[in-house]
Structure 1
Amino acid sequence: MLARLFIATRTRLTGGLVLLALALGAPLPAAAFETAARAAIVIDHRSGDVLFAKNPDERLPPASMSKLMTAYMVFARLEEGSLRLDDEFPVSEKAWRTGGSKMFVKVGDRVTVEDLLRGVIVQSGNDACVVVAEALAGSEEAFAERMTRRARDIGLADSTFKNATGLPDPEHLTTVRDLATLARTIIAEFPDYYGFYALTEFEYAGIHQKNRNPLLQAGVPGVDGLKTGHTSEAGYGLVASAERDGRRLILVVAGLESERQRRMEAERLLEYAFRDFREYRLFAADEAVVEAPVWMGANDRVGLVPAGPVAVTLSREARDDLVVKLLYDAPVAAPIAAGQQLGRLQLSAPGLETRDVPLVAAHDVPPAGLLKRVQDAVSHLVGGAS
């Protein structure tokens, strides 16, 4: 059995529910996977469903994983057309002096945006991050404030950025859930630039450096990004994504003790998620979930459809307990406009965060003529009386 579908409608005549959908009462199963990471999460890219989570909302120092937000700011400017890859930014003394991992830019150089992105993403260059920040906002401090504001706009509720690099600052904090959301947003919004994360190496100023992503370097199937992070305070972390057979997953681990442990835990968790979870497609985009009765309309019924495909990603154990509730008021009063929200699907299963999917009218329904309105009124009165 794939799912149980319950329908709940509220009549406009009585105001009472004709049928109540059953609610799941079973407790969530114990976690089927354990990790040494201080915090970790795996999400399905398409649906956003959380497949695994450990301390997903604990605020932690992200180290260089916060460079995802630095790159996001550049991608957004490129996408809107106010910046080009061949634009050049000057290198300040502050950028040149910034410690930690480096792209090895020199004071007075002018470096293209394209090379700076490679420096940020492949080489994790703190100097490249400062060059970008100063060019786009005047100072790194102002750029960090913009990073935080933009983070709120895209749903990163628990992230605060105090610099462009991820170097230690007591207020520079995020969560693995926010990092997964950020990675998902980058992949979805900037497909033309996401390819930077698949680069395995980059040479600048005669210095050749390899991408620090251990899953990318090891050739783990499907892995094509994103970013590592490490400081003594944060430990070892990784944001990674992989696509296999049309399914893309996003993984974040944080707070590990060594490079080796980071690689092993990330690979184990990714393999577990691909092996034990599957995407179940319930309805196609614009597929009628139900034909709802119409009150006083030129048509007797109108299809309720989702705006996009409806799918959930579940473990094999949870799939038989998937419950789909269909909720809408009936009959629907005309006039009705195509795309008007008239109901919703509510999806729930053990381990799945309850999700609501809006259902909209498949087509316009204009008001009925006088004769049909009289017939509808009589019909409903008789039906209500009986």
Structure 2
Amino acid sequence: MPQRHLRRFTLSLALVSGLSLPWGAAAQVLETQAREAYMIDVATGTVLLEKNAEESMPPASMSKIMTAVVVFERLKDGRLSLEEKLPVSEKAWKKGGSKMFVRVGDQISVENLLQGVIVQSGNDACIVLAEGLAGTEEAFADVMTEKAREIGMTGSTFANATGWPDPNHRMTARDLATLANYVITEFPEYYHYYSQTEFTWSDIKQSNRNPLLYMNIGADGLKTGHTEEAGYGLTSSAVKDDRRLILVVNGLPSVRARSEESARLLQWGFREFDNYKLFSAGETVEEASVWLGEENTVPLVTAEDVLITLPRQARDSMRVTVTYEGPISAPIEEGAQLATLRVEAKDVETIEIPLVTGAAVGQLGGFGKITAGVKHLIFGAP
């Protein structure tokens, strides 16, 4: 058998027209007055901006996104309907802060309560839902925490359904982005509530507190928050040219700062980065040499679409290489992970993507092995 070597091939960028990664690119450095900030590209999961993203913080009303998620889960699995009505308790009616203005003894539909939570940020509506679904607000908060663990939100614990100040009610900016992404991807049929700009209940019309909805920048959600300890925060999402970004900011000093900084950061994310499709799932990236096989080569393919997010200025410095130890000895199973696609660019974290064999290759019989051996001795061919 010929000696096996690590083989490296550099792909021509002209063949791929544009490049980028689904798993990589380090967050860029950008000054922001937010105490915590975190921004991702949804399609690739690439972190575009990160500041104190793992710090435990009071999320205030941004935690109402999880309150709604618990309701969405029950709607989706059929345990609840939008038309079902829930009773208003005295506790819900008395709750301070932002309100939907429910009245004791009223029976209110789940859909109206969701609008009260999402559009009006009603603490009273949150408690009606919590009591209706779990018996008590405390039991509902336990469900919220359990759901957070289920979807990978390791830095979140909930003490209530409203975001009311409590030392045990904490989230991280990263967790809020994870939660927003979960809502967008898992509950598209309910996501439209987050772009609803107003809702009227008890003859009181209230506007959605999310300032980005009124700026014509592609924003369609999600939720503001404010307490004295938390400062002003916003978990938002926007779409431009088929790209969706999620941004979380918290700890800002004013309503105006929250609005202006959120808009500035989203616009920066759309302007400075772009997504580039490198290969489609199953597309041949390289043909690898085969030793003693019924075929001389085997295609190396990507198991999934290769889409990457890059700073626009980094594209020209892109270098894409394929490495594998070859020639590869037959027999070869289809789907075997035998190579790596490596993408490098200036000021961007290197990304490595596994490549698998796109076909099975059988081993030569006895006579074929002899012929291959002779060719190798004479010509050095694999």
Matched, 1:235 2:231: yes
User: For 1:126 and 1:376, how far apart are their aligned partners in 2?
Assistant: 80
Residue type at the aligned position of 2:31: E
Within 5 Å, give how 1:162-173 maps onto structure 2: 162-173=159-170
**Structure 2 vs 1, CA of residues 37 and 381 (structure 1 numbering), >3 Å: closer, same or farther?**
same
Once residues 330 and 127 of structure 2 are traced to their aligned partners in structure 1, the CA distance between those partners, rounded to angstroms, is 58
Pick from 193, 197, 206 the counterpart of residue 194 of structure 2.
197
Q: Aligned residue for 1:115?
A: 112
Q: Are residues 245 and 170 of structure 1, via their aligned partners in 2, closer, same or farther at CA, if it must alter by over 3 Å?
A: same
Structure 1 pair 350–232 and aligned structure 2 pair: CA distance change class (3 A): farther
Post-superposition CA distance 1:44-86 (Å, at most 9, x none): 1111111122222222111111111111222222223332222
Of stretches 252-261 and 173-182 in structure 1, the one that deviates more from structure 2 is 173-182
Secondary structure of the residue aligned to 1:203 is strand
CA change 1:251–1:138 in 2 (3 A) is same
Contact 1:158 1:174 in 2 (8 A): yes
Per the alignment, residue 173 of structure 2 pairs with 176
Q: Is 1:215 matched up with 2:212?
A: yes
* 2:6 corresponds to: 17
Q: CA deviation at 1:379?
A: 7.4
1:149 to 146, 149, 152: 146
1:30–1:120 Cα change, 3 Å: closer
Residue in structure 1 matched with residue 259 of structure 2 by the alignment: 263
SS of residue paired to 2:268: helix
Normalising by the residue count of structure 1, what TM-score does the alignment of the two structures yield?
Answer: 0.83
Taking a change above 3 Å as real, the CA distance of residues 379 and 205 of structure 1, as seen in their structure-2 partners, is farther
Q: Secondary structure at the match of 2:284?
A: coil
Classify 1:379/1:18 alpha carbon distance in 2 versus 1 (closer, same or farther; 3 Å).
Answer: farther
**How far did residue 29 of structure 1 move?**
10
Out of 288, 291, 299, the position equivalent to 1:292 is: 288
Q: How does 1:1-386 map to 2 (within 5 A)?
A: 17-19=6-8, 31=29, 33-216=30-213, 218-294=214-290, 299-330=295-326, 331=328, 334-337=331-334, 339-349=335-345, 352-363=348-359, 365=360, 367-368=362-363, 370-371=365-366, 374=369, 378=373
* 5+ residue gaps, structure 1: 1-11, 22-27
> What TM-score does the superposition give when structure 2 sets the normalisation length?
0.84
What is the CA–CA distance in structure 2 between the aligned matches of 1:160 and 1:171, rounded to whole Å?
Answer: 7
Partner deviation per Cα, 1:230-274 (whole Å, 9 max, x = no partner): 001100001111111111111111100100111111111111111
Conserved 8 A contact 1:345-1:359:
yes
For the structure 1 residues 74 and 357, does the alpha-carbon distance in structure 2 shift closer, same or farther, using more than 3 Å as the test? farther
Query: RMSD value over aligned CA atoms?
Result: 3.0
Q: Percent identity?
A: 53
Contact kept in structure 1, 2:7 and 2:324, CA below 8 Å:
no
Verify the 8 A CA contact 1:130 1:165 in the aligned structure 2: yes
Aligned partners of 2:222, 2:374: CA distance in 1, in Å?
61
Amino acid in structure 2 at the alignment position of 1:302: V
In structure 1, C-alpha distance between the alignment counterparts of 2:119 and 2:226, rounded to whole Å: 14
- Structure 1 window deviating more from structure 2 (317-326 vs 112-121): it is 317-326
Aligned pairs, how many?
A: 365
> Counterpart of 2:283 in structure 1: which amino acid?
E
Q: How far apart, CA to CA, are the structure 1 residues paired with 2:129 and 2:350?
A: 40
SS of match in other structure, 2:313: coil
* Contact 1:50-1:353 at 8 Å conserved across structures: no
Q: What is the distance in 2 between the residues matched to 1:252 and 1:268? A: 13
Q: Secondary structure at the match of 2:309?
A: strand
Residue 20 of structure 2 corresponds to: none
For 2:6, give the aligned amino acid.
L
Deviations 1:67-106 (A, max 9, x none): 1111122222222333222222222222222221111222
Contact 1:346/1:354 (8 A) holds in 2: yes
What is the rounded CA distance, in whole Å, between the counterparts of 1:167 and 1:29 in structure 2? 32
Q: CA deviation at 1:291?
A: 2.6
1:35 is displaced (CA, Å) by: 1.4
Which range is displaced more, 321-330 or 57-66?
321-330
Question: 1 CA distance for matches of 2:28 and 2:76?
Answer: 43
Map Cα deviations across residues 11-37 of structure 1 (whole Å, 9 max, x no partner): x9767634599xxxxxx8982x32111
The Cα of 1:342 is off from its aligned counterpart by 4.1
**Structure 1 residues 366 and 276 mapped into 2: Cα distance closer, same or farther (>3 Å)?**
closer
Cα deviations across residues 255-306 of structure 1 (Å, max 9, x unaligned)?
Answer: 0010011111111111111112222221123222223345665544433333
Flag structure 2 segments of 5+ consecutive residues without an equivalent.
11-25
Q: Following the alignment from structure 1 to structure 2, what is the Cα–Cα distance between the partners of residues 159 and 379?
A: 66
Equivalent residues of 1:322, 1:347 under 8 A apart: yes
Q: Distance in 1 between matches of 2:274 and 2:348?
A: 13
